Structure 1
Amino acid sequence: MKKILLSCLVAFALLGTGCHKDEQYEAQKYGILNTEVKGLGFVKSIFSEALLADATPQKILSVEVGVSSNELPKTAINYTVVASPTLIPAGTTLLPASAYTFKSTNTVPAGAVHSVFEIVLTNASLLNSNLTYGVAFTLTSADNGYTVAQNSRVVSISINIKNKYDGVYSNMGTFRDFVNAAFTGNYPLTYRLVTTGPSSVDVQLLVNGTYAPAYLFLNNGGGTFFGSYGLTMTFNPAAGDIISDLHNYYGDPSKPATAIGDPSLGTGAPNFASANTRRAVLDPTGINKYDNATKVIKIKHFIIQSNQSTGPNPRSALNETWTYTGPRP
């Protein structure tokens, strides 16, 4: 009975105090204030860029700085940025400071939600196409009442250098195998030319879900490919973009292994024969060059396989036209 009485008294006491108004609270002299913190930060924190190995300056325009506020800024917001070499993406090589420029002080215009933070690669032809470069930047300050958001103050960028031959190509042509008449062409094919140097590429196809240097054809109408065979090639821009070197990827011990074969078992220069003796040799009767105006490659080549117990060598002849369709992912 005492417990019930005490509970009732407490309840009435609470009800009683709830009826009194606090004039200072209602005047907002203290209490919960809805004060907005206006933030500024990079819209996205991680980027990957692919640029041409070109001496002409190239702009990276994908990085943006944005505002977080209940309303658009009525006046411009100035912000400062510094390079942060210790924050580059893991596994990348630091992009030399001499290879790029950026403005340390930038502006988000009045009335804008975001603006581009521009980075300029000054001369990508001086960079190593075999490396993935990294660069990073940190927002350090902002004016006009904006605060740099700590969780979006850093942006890091991976940069790959592509030569002009790099890209996706549609391949039409003819394939003839002199050893097995059941082997026929499987056109059209889609090739990916992947930069390996200023004027060299690996020629990749999609085989069983993975891109790798290979050659796809038909065996009695069913899809198949040659084991330990695929192309790697070099062009000579000074000689009209002719193909100056062509050899079997899987005969080059400097190349990494793929599901198609292991180049470490190859002979290396000058023949670049794979473990199963397959080689790639240009047919000198072909045009064998890249057309800079149309981005079309015309190429004729032979597959040589010296361990053939029967049949002629070369074992196969290919005459193809590769037409550029766009950049590779």
Structure 2
Amino acid sequence: MKYIIYTLLLVATGWTACTKMDHEYAPYLSNGEIFYTGVPTRLEVHPGRGRVELQFTRPKDPNVTRFVIYWSNRSKHLEIPATDVMVQKVIIPDLREGEYVFEMVAYDKAGNPSARGAAIVSGSSLGQAYEGNLQARRVTVANSQSGILLDFTSVDTVCRYTTLGYTTLPGAAGTMMYSNRDAFRDTLKDASLQLSVIKLKTAYVPPSGIDTFYARQELAVNLLAGKYVCTGQMTDNTTASLTGPYPWNVTLRPVTATQLELVDDDQTNDVYHKILSDGNGSYYGSFGVVFNLDNHYRVISVVNKYGQPSSNGRSAELDPSGVNTFDPVTRILRVKYWMNQPGSTHRTSFDETFTMK
């Protein structure tokens, strides 16, 4: 008798519980059960020029037939078919430069979508603003007896290569391409003796990028820029114990396309004129030589880097009786000039020959 009573109680309790559960979930089942298909995973956005590449891993659900990619707050979309390839890629074209958020939805054969907001990734479309901020690879240009010396700085991995355009000895267009990312030196042995401009174009591919972007620069070439051995004569009209330092190792360093400053490589490693005082190394204070040239390699003036005059009254002046010309064939500069200061119009005279190394 007790067994029968317990059985009736269990049946009644179970009926009541099921009725209550169905009542609570009825509103959600009025249109039938909701099915969500598999979600695309491992989404990546690879930037390009006015476009992006979206890469993803398709869900393992074999019923998935297509994918829809939404962006710009779902105002734009792109639909692509599903394939058997697990990792798929698709190009999203015609994007203005900027940041984008992409949402990906998978659909199965019955039209059931993956859960909204379950596959979202952001990325950038690149264009003129990005490219305009790129800098051409830094190259220092100098001349030498063996040709034009090019010293390249090191670059990171986004820099793929640099092309260099110049004029050759026969007057034809020459091109060099460099992909070495470390700092290095090269020599243009066939460069024109009248070379004035080198055109640089550096190619960059952003991280995970699908397109190449370029930075361009025209680099003015001063054929007098380089390392020299200076010989000649120096006469200090006020102090006989001050004599010339020849032979003297110097650098003619470009300031502009037609202006160079004389750097002392033996003593100060700066823009000062070295001298000997009783045979010992010294230099004229507040006096540094700057040569101004025309487009035919003629020296048209000499000025003092530290002022005309400097704080101690010293200035520089070209002596027109000199050759005052650079020969691009022999790579030799001959120039005469004075150092002037109050009390002695031409205190020191220099008659110097600079032979390029």
Give the TM-score taking structure 2 as reference length: 0.44
Larger Rg: 2
